[in-house]
Structure 1
Amino acid sequence: MKTFFTRTASALVFVAVMLGGILWNPFTFFLLFFLVNFFALQEYFKLIRQIDTDFANTSGLHRYGVSIASCAIMLAFTGSNFILGDINAGFIGWWLAIIFLMVLPLGEILFSKDFSLKNIGYSALGLLYVTIPFSMLVNIRLNAIDIHYTADQVGTAPGWLIPLLLIIFIWINDTMAYIVGSLIGRTPFAPAISPKKTIEGTLGGMILAVAAAGVYGHFWGSSYLALQHWLVLAGIAAVFGTIGDLIESKLKRMAGVKDSGNIMPGHGGFLDRFDSMLLAAPFAWIYVQSFML
C-alpha cells in the first residue's frame, strides 16, 4: 500500500511539472527539457559505464565537455527565440557546441589513461540518442506551425500542441498495449529484451492509439490539425515510441539494471520516463518539417 501511494504521489507531481513546463510559456518548455536532457544523458553515461567499464576511464575534460556540448546543442535549437543582449541564444549555442565537440576528442587523446575512439563513439551516440531528440522537440515547441489543411486553407497550431500530443499518444499506446496484452496477449514480441511484451498487446496499443487520435481529430480536433496529421502523429508516437522503449530496455538489460535511475520513486529515472519520446520526437520533427510547414 505504501508503494502504491508513493508511486501515485510521484506520478501526480510528474504530471503537474510536465503540464506546467509544457503549457506555461516557451521558456518553461525549454527549461523543462533542458533539465530532462541533462539528467537523461547522465543516466545514459551511467548505463554505458556498466556495459563497458572502459568508459569509466574517460578524463574529466571528456565527461564535462560532452555535457556542456549537450547543453549547447539544446540552446542551438532554440534559434532566434531567446535573445541574450544583442545576440540570439541559438547562435551562441551553435558556437559552443562546435567548440566543445572539437575539444572532446582532444581531451580524450591528451588526458585519458588509454586513448579510445570507442569512448568518443559512446559519447557521440549519447548526444545523438538523447540530446538531439529533445532538441528537436524544443524546436517544434518554439516555432509556430502554419498548418496546411488543403492547398488553399491554412491555419496556425500552437507550438505546444504537437509535443503534448506525442506525449498523450505515447501514453495511450502504452496503456492500451498493457490492457490488450493482459487480456489476450499470448505471443511474445521481444522476449530477449522485454519478456512481458506481446505481439497482440503491441499491435492493439498501436491500433487503439491511432483510432483514438482519428476519432478526436475528426469530431473535435479539426480546428487545430487536419485529420491526416492526427493519424500520422499518433502512428509515429505508437510505432517509434514502442521501438524507443525497446532500445532503452535493451540498454538496461545489457547493463544489468532494472531502472536507469531513481529520480521518481516507483517510476525509475529520466530515461525510463522518456525512452519512447527519444525515437518518436525525431520522426515527428521530420514529419512537421516535411508536411506541416
Structure 2
Amino acid sequence: MTRTRLLAALVMAPVAIGAILLLPTPWVAALSAVIFLAGLWEWFDLAEIEDTLARTVLLAVHVAMIAAIVWASRTSAGTTLALYQLASVIGVIWWLLALAWLGRYEFASNHDTYARVFKLAAAALAMIPAWCALVWIHATVPNGHRWLLTALAIVWAADSGAYFAGRKLGKRKLAPRISPNKTIEGLMGGLVCGLLAGIGFALFAGASATQLPAVALVAVVAVLFSVIGDLFESLLKRHVGAKDSSHLIPGHGGILDRVDGVIAALPVFALGKALLGF
C-alpha cells in the first residue's frame, strides 16, 4: 500500500504544482472548483444521499453558489476579493464548530433526515470557503501562486509526516473512536514536518527573515486545522461504515480523502496571512 501511495503521489504532485505555479488565477479557480466539487459528490455519499437526481441538484446548487461569488466579485476595475475573504472567515468559524462536533460523536449519526441536513450544511460550509480561500491566496500580489503552494505544502508535509511517524512511533491514540489509526506521535510528526515545509516554502514565496515567526505560527495552526478536517471526514465515514470516500485514487482513497485536511487548512492560512501581513 505504501508503494502504491507514493507512486500515486509522484504522479499527482507535479501536476498540481505545475498548475499552481504556471496557470493564471481564473484557471486555477476553475480547476480547483472541479476538484472540490468532485470531493463534494463523495461527501453526498457520506451524507447518505443515494438518489442521483437529488445529488445532481445539490451539486448544481453549489456550482451556482460558486458562480454567484465570481459574478458578484466583478467590478469595473477588475475583481474584488471581499466575498472570498468573508467566506474564508466563515470557513474558519465553521471548523471551530466542527471541532465541537468531533467531541459529540453521536450527533447526527442516526441517519435520519435531520442528520443529512446537518451533514449537507457542513459540506457547503467546508467546500465553498476552502475554494474561496484558495482563490484569495492565489490572487494575492505579489507571489500569490507561491503562497498557495506554501499553504498546500504545509498540509501535504504534515500528512506525510503524520503517516510515517504514526507508523513508526505511534502508541498513544489521538481519537480512537473516530480514527483508530491516528496517534499523538503522528500528530507531533505532522506538526514538525508542516512547520519545516511552511518555513522552507515561505522563503521560496519571498518571505523575509522577520516574517518567518508569523509564518511558523500560521503553519502550526493550519496543521492543527487540517487534523480537524481529517478527523471530521473520518467521523462522517464512521457514521456510515465507510473506509474511504471512494476508490478513485490508488492507495489514497477518494478525492475527499485527499482534500479533507486542505479544505480546513486553507481558510485559516489565508486569514492568518492577511492578519499577520506576510
Q: TM-score of the superposition, structure 2-length normalised?
A: 0.74
Give the Cα–Cα distance (whole angstroms) in 2 for the partners of residues 13 and 263 of structure 1.
14
* 1:161 matched residue in structure 2: 146
* 2:18 matched residue in structure 1: 20
* 2:106 matched residue in structure 1: none
1:121 CA drift (Å): 4.1
Give the Cα–Cα distance (whole angstroms) in 1 for the partners of residues 43 and 222 of structure 2.
22
Unpaired runs of at least 5, structure 1: 50-54, 95-115, 145-156
Match of 1:275, SS?
A: helix
Q: Does 1:189 align with 2:180?
A: no
- After TM superposition, the structure 1 = structure 2 runs for residues 116-155 of structure 1, keeping only pairs within 5 Å, are 119-144=116-141
Give the Cα–Cα distance (whole angstroms) in 2 for the partners of residues 15 and 37 of structure 1.
16
Describe the superposition over 1:79-124 as per-residue Cα deviations: whole angstroms up to 9, x where unpaired.
Answer: 78879xx897989x99xxxxxxxxxxxxxxxxxxxxx666544433
* Code of the aligned partner of 2:246: G
1:277 to 246, 262, 278: 262
RMSD: 3.5
* Code of the aligned partner of 2:263: L
Q: Does 1:47 align with 2:39?
A: no
Give the Cα–Cα distance (whole angstroms) in 2 for the partners of residues 141 and 165 of structure 1.
11
The structure number with the bigger radius of gyration is: 1
Give the Cα–Cα distance (whole angstroms) in 1 for the partners of residues 164 and 7 of structure 2.
22
1:277 CA drift (Å): 0.9
* 2:88 matched residue in structure 1: none
- After TM superposition, the structure 1 = structure 2 runs for residues 185-224 of structure 1, keeping only pairs within 5 Å, are 185-214=170-199, 222-223=207-208
- After TM superposition, the structure 1 = structure 2 runs for residues 106-121 of structure 1, keeping only pairs within 5 Å, are 119-121=116-118
Give the Cα–Cα distance (whole angstroms) in 1 for the partners of residues 134 and 204 of structure 2.
27
Q: TM-score of the superposition, structure 1-length normalised?
A: 0.71
* 2:95 matched residue in structure 1: none
Q: Using the aligned pairs only, state the percent identity.
A: 30
Give the Cα–Cα distance (whole angstroms) in 1 for the partners of residues 246 and 261 of structure 2.
16
* 1:99 matched residue in structure 2: none
Name whichever of 218-227 and 201-210 sits farther off: 218-227
1:201 CA drift (Å): 2.2
Match of 1:226, SS?
A: helix
Q: How many residues align?
A: 248
* Code of the aligned partner of 2:122: L
Name whichever of 212-221 and 125-134 sits farther off: 212-221
Give the Cα–Cα distance (whole angstroms) in 1 for the partners of residues 55 and 205 of structure 2.
48
**Any conservation in 1 of the 2:150–2:201 contact (CA below 8 Å)?**
no
* 1:29 matched residue in structure 2: 28
* Code of the aligned partner of 1:67: L
Match of 2:182, SS?
A: strand
1:279 CA drift (Å): 1.0
User: Would the alpha carbon gap of residues 170 and 197 (structure 1) be closer, same or farther in structure 2, given more than 3 Å must change?
Assistant: same
* Code of the aligned partner of 1:11: A
User: Would the alpha carbon gap of residues 26 and 82 (structure 1) be closer, same or farther in structure 2, given more than 3 Å must change?
Assistant: farther
Match of 1:160, SS?
A: helix
1:20 CA drift (Å): 2.6
- After TM superposition, the structure 1 = structure 2 runs for residues 166-177 of structure 1, keeping only pairs within 5 Å, are 166-177=151-162
1:230 to 215, 218, 233: 215
Unpaired runs of at least 5, structure 2: 85-112
User: Would the alpha carbon gap of residues 4 and 287 (structure 1) be closer, same or farther in structure 2, given more than 3 Å must change?
Assistant: closer
Name whichever of 235-244 and 206-215 sits farther off: 206-215
Higher relative contact order (CA 8 A, sep 6+): 2
